[in-house]
Structure 1
Amino acid sequence: MNKSRVVLAGIIISLFVSSALFVGLWADEAQKAKPKVQEANKLESFKKLRRIMGIVEENYVDELSFDEIVDKAIDGLLSNLDAHSNYLNKKKFDDLRANTDGEFGGIGITVGLKDGALSIIAPVDGTPGDKAGLKSGDVIIRVNDKSTIDMSIDDAVNLMRGAPKTKVELTIVRKGEAKPLVFNIVRDIIKI
């Protein structure tokens, strides 16, 4: 009886070792296949992105170059990661450098959207905007001949910036004034 138990235990142990070796080999093969699956998934994702970009290029209501579509895709990707990730195309990068290098041509006001309207947050002391009499809370309804309704802040800022000694016309709605006010302002170098 003892001998048969030893034989049975030996068979069970050998089956267990064989199973463990089989599972180990299977797991090793699965691990080797994992990068291939990941690469195939990446390739499928890139194909999907390329298809969508092609559809946008062919069918979007406004004409967009493929570079513009790529820029918008990258911008969307990075802006959805977290609050600190952004994509700067060449123009945005140049604007950032102008703001951080210390000077640019403009009128010297800080603007933002307040209740959906382009509003002056504050004129910078001693700048053309300050000297012209622009005030915090003024709502800019036109820059030169362009309405600011549905205009982005970047577009409005780009219209107000320009070469020193050139003019820009702002039409302002001010609380307490019955009619819009028109300001003709000569741009100057604005130092940050």
Structure 2
Amino acid sequence: MRAMLTGAAIGAVMGGLAVGVSAFAWPEASPADARTETYRQLDLFAEVLARARADYVTDFDEAEAIEAAINGMLGSLDPHSSYLSPEDFEAMQVQTSGEYGGLGIEVTMEEGFVKVVTPMDDTPASRAGLESGDLLTAINGNPIVGLNIDDAVKDMRGPPGTEIIVTVLREGQEAFDVTLKREVIRPDSVDWEVKADDIAYFRISTFNERTTELLEKAIAEASRQIDGRPAGIVLDLRNNGGGLLEQAISVSDKFLSGGEVVSTIGRRPSDIARYNARNGEVFKSIPMVVLINNGSASASEIVAGALQDRSRATILGTTSFGKGSVQTVIPLGADRGAIRLTTSRYYTPSGRSIQATGIEPDLEIVQSRVTEDQLEKIRRYSEADLPHALTNEEGAERRMPHMPDEQPPEDYDGDDYQLDRAIEIIHGGQLTAAGQNPNAG
């Protein structure tokens, strides 16, 4: 079994109903009663399937119908639990290994459409201009409504070099088609560059099996180019949709010396764990800024939360996605696929859950100027708005949209305002060696 921090979403919003009873209360059902009810419901399912087999207007694939029923059950639990057919299970293993054929986008489901969580760097999706929050409504002219997320992803993947047309619905625009050519997606999940002669900049786009290894190489190469210790570090986790739990922990470990990184709590004792960093860190005591936005989810939120709570880095950008749960992929045996099941919640070193709320930056700085009308769109793109999303067990809610603390000047003509500000803050001595703003209360 493998712990995952990214998943697909499907379903409809679940509400709550509380009824107060003062004079009468129903007796609690015994375990035997609960089992009897479960068997009754399974009999009901078998009867419905038999009726459909006998009376439906045409023949249908019963295996596909049962698979859809399983997916519907799991999808009703939360946005990230689902069934993986043997083919989907194999594809998932290929993806987490760091190589597969497709478009290069992290996606979820919303209102029956595929929603782009983030386009990966230097892939057909990013080069075609797909953006976080775009809705894909059709693939090669075939409507997506009615597909589950795994089927939609399967349709988007294919042999490298083949073309695919996706229909995109973007807020404020008419639907339009985009033609993309599939490629072997072998994302170098870590990119690096020396900025302003002395700033070590590391960009992590996803957390797959190669991420920590690639980060170690990037750190070594950046050190050689700078010929020593940098003046500061920028870790860019913007539009990083997540990935493997163990990779989030090992990446955090690079910038911490001992102490907690994250803890997880589930129903089983095996799902309760506390993960600590080892002694020793790279670039110790050098000021550090972590960049996040609302496309930063799961594993990237673990890293940002750990470095924020441990006062190792200043978090700059906008509030992250808010996915505070862990999925375990559980194989079901030969030729039966697997299930991706939410098995625990995770907590930052201070014990806080960011489920449905996200990581709030220490310095709220947006990438481009926003108007009051655009704030609602920003709010809607979060875990809290996914169908069947888990609530925050601490009762916390995502902060409502408001005008950001800082926007780019109207005459700004650079390419990356958040990164430019991170470099300015480091060079301006506005961060202590631990990475925090010394003037903050």
- Identity in percent: 30
**TM-score (ref. length: structure 2):** 0.28
d(CA) in 1 for partners of 2:83, 2:111 = 27
Amino acid at match of 1:99: Q
CA deviation after TM superposition for structure 1 residue 63, in Å: 3.2
Matched to 1:146, the amino acid is N
Within 5 Å, which residues of 2 pair with 1:5-154? 57-59=53-55, 63-64=59-60, 75=70, 79=74, 88-154=84-150
- How many angstroms does 1:139 deviate by? 1.2
CA–CA distance in 2 between the matches of 1:188 and 1:167?
10
Q: 1:64 to 1:184 in 2, by over 3 A?
A: same
Q: Distance in 2 between matches of 1:85 and 1:175?
A: 28
1:176 deviates by 2.6
C-alpha deviation, 1:183, in angstroms: 1.0
- Alignment equivalent of 1:180, drawn from 175, 184, 206: 175
Q: Which residues of structure 2 form unaligned runs of 5+?
A: 1-38, 187-207, 209-441
State whether residues 136 and 169 of structure 2, in contact with CA within 8 Å, keep that contact through their aligned partners in structure 1: yes
Query: Does 1:156 find its partner at 2:152?
Result: yes
Aligned residue type for 2:135:
V
Aligned residues: 148
Question: CA, structure 1 residues 56+86, in 2 after alignment: closer, same or farther (shift >3 Å)?
Answer: same
With over 3 angstroms needed to count, the CA separation of the structure-2 counterparts of 1:139 and 1:89, relative to structure 1, is closer
Contact 1:57 1:65 in 2 (8 A): no
After TM superposition, the structure 1 stretch with the greater mean CA deviation from structure 2, 134-143 or 92-101, is 92-101
> TM (normalized to structure 1)?
0.58
Runs of 4+ in 1 over 3 A off after TM superposition: 44-73, 82-89
Q: Matches of 2:114 and 2:63 in 1, distance apart?
A: 29
Larger radius of gyration: 1
Distance 2:178 2:135 in 1: 12
**Cα 1:168/1:66, change in 2 over 3 Å:** closer
Deviation for aligned residue 1:69: 6.7
Residue type matched to 1:129 in 2? A
Match of 1:3 in 2: none
Letter in 1 for 2:95: N
Point out the more displaced range, 112-121 or 141-150: 112-121
Q: What is the Cα-based RMSD across aligned positions, in Å? A: 3.6
